[in-house]
Amino acid sequence: MKIIVLGGDGYCGWATSLYLSAQGHSVAIVDNFIRRQWDHELGAQTLTPILPLSDRLRTWTRLTGKSIELFVGDVTDYEFLLSTVKQFEPEAIIHFAEQRSAPYSMIDRKHAVFTQMNNVVSTLNVLFAIREVQRDCHLIKLGTMGEYGTPNIDIEEGYINIEHNGRSDLLPFPKQPGSFYHLSKVHDSHNMMFACNVWGVRATDLNQGVVYGTMTDEIGLDEALINRLDYDEVFGTVLNRFCVQAAIGQPLTVYGKGGQTRGFLDIRDTVRCIELACLNPAARGECRVYNQFTEQFSKNVREAGKDLGMKVEIDHIPDPRVEAEHHYYNAKHSKLLDLGLQPHFLSESLLDSLMNIALKYRDRVDPTITLPQVNWREPRNERRLQANVAAGISVSAAQPGESRVASGKGKNR
């Protein structure tokens, strides 16, 4: 298939692009590299030394003989997007090109507005481009399980049959998103359902859980293909951050009592779910919703770390988010299994491999960037590089040994 991956230089996008290329699909990446710019804004680099995209793509071609096309530009720029779609004529567009961090969206008003504008406009643009020039193209859009929040009833996949006062209807599942970022995905979902209805667009909304891991078969081929691994408080997803913390002997920063339950999946399952969606396109006018995760649990790295013989400490810090610490959680996720997904469950071997990666790149670990500095309750969070605050030195000179200072309890504002 001819597939465009919007945001193909990012964490999930890069792994997906390689996987799809390896499966024989004709792949084009669209990216504007803003994710790399945020690294600089936040003073937080990926643990793994990722190469520039052009070098990554050259390596891929050298190793496999396969080439991936590249279109450099911003999806919120409609002229650029339209010309890309006209030129490549994709059968599927996978849309990862959104600001994906909840804490980033909660920094302050500008970050909240940016996140919603960037995400909503990019998805509107993709919908209009498909309608205008590529009507049978299937949109596969990354949503998040966080769109649902934590209702006291089972979470269905997108729609729920409601009986009320003797009548019934199949309606969109009510959404209770927990950050301006999660809200942007809810806005996208509503816009997509509408476009499917009025224009007959084919769409799949993948409400993805928290992704962990960094390695896939393709990425493992060569260090030049290495994927990003974020462990900072803003972009680091929880299991990745915990593994890096455990590997360097830093206490895990658990938010509150740590009783929050969420859906999780291995990045190797992300890429397979995306291909399954591509190979089984939605019908004309169908807005299909899949819950894309494989297991739900509270974060249990402490137990896993202990099993691996590591000493894992935990700092229970005040929860910077506004969320229920104890709640019912039972989310359905059978549709991708029905399409043939064979899940990789969280295992010691995965945690082991993640910790080994952290140990391998230990010199690159900045232990001062894991403590939360974005408090949901504040409308304006002035993030500071912790190294400056706690150690009086510039972040470029920060050493792993400073971690105990910077990660002290009670620093969460």
Quick one: 40 or 164, whose CB is closer to a copy of itself?
A: 164
Strand order from edge to edge, sheet including 69-72: 69-72, 26-31, 2-6, 92-95, 138-144, 202-208, 287-292
Query: Measured from the CB of residue 130, what is the shortest distance to a copy of itself in angstroms?
Result: 9
Q: Is residue 411 helix, strand or coil?
A: coil
As a whole number of angstroms, the distance between CA 363 and CA 371 comes to 19
Q: Which of 11, 76, 123, 185 is catalytic?
A: 185
- Given a contact cutoff of 8 angstroms between Cβ atoms, the answer to whether 348 and 307 are in contact is yes
Q: Which of 19, 181, 255, 329 is catalytic?
A: 181
Query: Measured from the CB of residue 23, what is the shortest distance to a copy of itself in angstroms?
Result: 32
DSSP H/E element including 94: strand 92-95
Quick one: 323 or 352, whose CB is closer to a copy of itself?
A: 323
- Given a contact cutoff of 8 angstroms between Cβ atoms, the answer to whether 291 and 331 are in contact is yes
- Catalytic residue flag (residue 231): no
Query: Measured from the CB of residue 289, what is the shortest distance to a copy of itself in angstroms?
Result: 13
Quick one: 38 or 78, whose CB is closer to a copy of itself?
A: 78
> Between the CA of residue 105 and those of 149, 180, 402, 411, what are the distances in Å?
17, 6, 28, 21
As a whole number of angstroms, the distance between CA 273 and CA 207 comes to 11
Query: Measured from the CB of residue 157, what is the shortest distance to a copy of itself in angstroms?
Result: 13
Quick one: 134 or 250, whose CB is closer to a copy of itself?
A: 134
Token pair 């096309």 in the structure block, residue: 69
Query: Measured from the CB of residue 201, what is the shortest distance to a copy of itself in angstroms?
Result: 10
- Catalytic residue flag (residue 144): yes
- Structure tokens, 115: 């996140």
Which residues in this chain contact a copy of itself in the complex, by CB under 8 A? 78, 109, 112-113, 116-117, 120-121, 124-125, 128, 131-132, 151-154, 160, 162-165, 167-169, 171-180, 183, 186-187, 190-191, 193-194, 197-199, 322, 328, 376-377, 379-380
Sign of the alpha-carbon torsion through 206, 209, 211, 212? negative
Q: Which of 115, 144, 216, 270 is catalytic?
A: 144
DSSP of 212-274? E----TTGGG-GGGPPP---STTT--HHHHHHHHHHTTPPEEEETT----EEEEEHHHHHHHH
Q: Which residues contact 151 (CB under 8 A, 6 or more apart)?
A: 174, 176, 328
Quick one: 190 or 360, whose CB is closer to a copy of itself?
A: 190
Query: Measured from the CB of residue 399, what is the shortest distance to a copy of itself in angstroms?
Result: 36
Quick one: 1 or 324, whose CB is closer to a copy of itself?
A: 324
Residues marked active site are found at 144, 181, 185
